[in-house]
Structure 1
Amino acid sequence: MQQARDATSGVVVASRLRCADTHWTRLFGLLGTKEFPSGEGLWLKRSRQVHMIGMRYPIDVAFLDDGLQILRTISALPPGTVSPRVAGATSVLELPAGTLAETGLKEGARVEIEGDVERPRGHAATLTTAISNVALACLYVFFASAHFEFARRTGHWRTAMPIVVLEAMLVFVALTRRPSVGTSPRLRDWTIGLVGAFLPLLLRPGDGPGPLARLAEPLQAVGLLITLAGVLSLGRSFGLIAADRGIKTSGVYRVVRHPLYAGYLLGYLGYLGVYPSLWNCVLTVGTAVALNCRALVEERFLARDPAYREYLRRVRWRFLPSVY
């Protein structure tokens, strides 16, 4: 556990200091907490401004430079406000209101931080996961409803239902995924993952099947089967964002690195062939780009594990054997 103390006086200003060093832990910070117990502190790295939007209580704030010297302090920063941006600051120390006065910590003093890093748990990760899960589930309900209504009205159950089943598998494994032992903190990686998951749920059947429907239907079926095989091989290790939920190398993962994405792409291409429209074309191309980027991001993130590097060496192809 880390501690923060005044380097000159030796007074401990935070006996239990947690570190927020990712985009999401900095963004959510103390959100969701009802109180900030005396003796606790939150150290926001790579930050020179803080917000109090959604907070329930005031806090003391100290802005630090690279040498942990205090450039500016704010006592009892109230909820609903945003602090000034402090030039030269590279991190921020958040403390319970009244701590600055009680400890005598002032501008110009230097802070010492010692001990093992303890990162915030629960609030940021739980809130982010809950929001993405609820959004994914709601969007799927609208997606499935639109296709069920279309099939009921037109009788095109055979062409409309495969994509509904395909997305149902994605949503199911996403909502039941096991916790990760490490998740990419990069905002770009989160954006890529969420775009790849959410875009296909905006596909719509439009006016009905196009002239290539009979040729495209088998693509949907093959995509559905590959996705099912991928789900059976991956189990609950699926995730929307690049994360370590265990290395999977069995089943269809012995053939390509990302069989699920290959199945999705075939299914989406088949859907586009059945229901051709500019809207569906844009969404399909966007999804294909996002899934490819997602595959690259996951490989980069998991390559920290020697076992996965060996897997990359052994299995060369990402989506399609001997092609890509």
Structure 2
Amino acid sequence: MHLISSGGTVGRGGGPQALAILSQPPKTINQYLRVTIQGEVMEQDFGLPAMALRTLETYTTSVLKVDLSRPTEVKDTWRALMDEMSEVSRTHYRSIVFQDDRFVDYFRAATPETELGRLNLGSRPQKRKAGGVETLRAIPWVFAWTQTRLHLPVWLGLGSALGHTISDAEKITVLREMYREWPFLRSFFDLIQMVLAKADPRISSYYDEKLVLDAGHREFGVELRKLLQETVENVLDVSEQKALLDKDPVQQRALNNRREWLNPLNLVQVEALKRLREQARQGVEVDPNERKGLADALIISMKGLSSGLQNTG
């Protein structure tokens, strides 16, 4: 019996049910499947009888398709390249998240991480204990970056790994072969594309402009957005597309249509965060009704963006 996690953020291994099942390693499904449903997608997958039926049909169809399909042989050259890319990605990720002194302060200032306690994310606390970013639980860690539309936990390190591979003509040929023939890698890139299509550097820079007071930290944000753009370009190079999700026009159109409704929520959230933080810094007594109004606006914007973007925690 094989276990997968259904739904939830791509940064923590979540994704569409069918894509997750069809991309599993050979001989791991074997007619049976055990599924863990992420809380954030419980309602959308099982909230109504018709939704529940469709979800169960998706599981059943995918399991049958895996059992009836000939498994893809994973070549040694593919494994070797994946190991090499993994090491490059890990090294770059840790150099920014754990070794750059600016990271934690920027994260606290540029995202609503410190205000997430206002939103009920479940029974588990926002942090395990006092400390830096390593003490933060996975859900608010991803959630905070999603709110600012940077989605950093999903792509950070990937651009460097792809850039390392693209610079070598032989390796990029192998990687494109892997993308075409290996369901696991193809599903990985498809999920990454979906999240990258939801990212918006302009929105992220607006958070920095209004909320990040230190000039050095604002420059750090510029550096992160450059890395995001490099990642997008490298993903398009490997998948041989002109724009993200060109091979999935239905989802591409859906995200484009949704974007104009999401942007105003980000603007409201930034303004609420700015006013609440200014009040806290000034230490003056504030009208309780005004503060409650700002807190309500913040919570509503968080919930609206979470619903619109999905893959949030």
TM-score range, shorter chain: under 0.3
The TM-score, its normalising length taken from structure 1, stands at 0.25
Which structure: greater helix fraction?
A: 2
- Structure index of larger Rg: 1
Higher strand proportion (structure 1 or 2)? 1
The TM-score normalised by the length of structure 2 is: 0.26
- Which of structures 1 and 2 has the larger relative contact order (alpha carbons within 8 angstroms, sep 6+)? 2
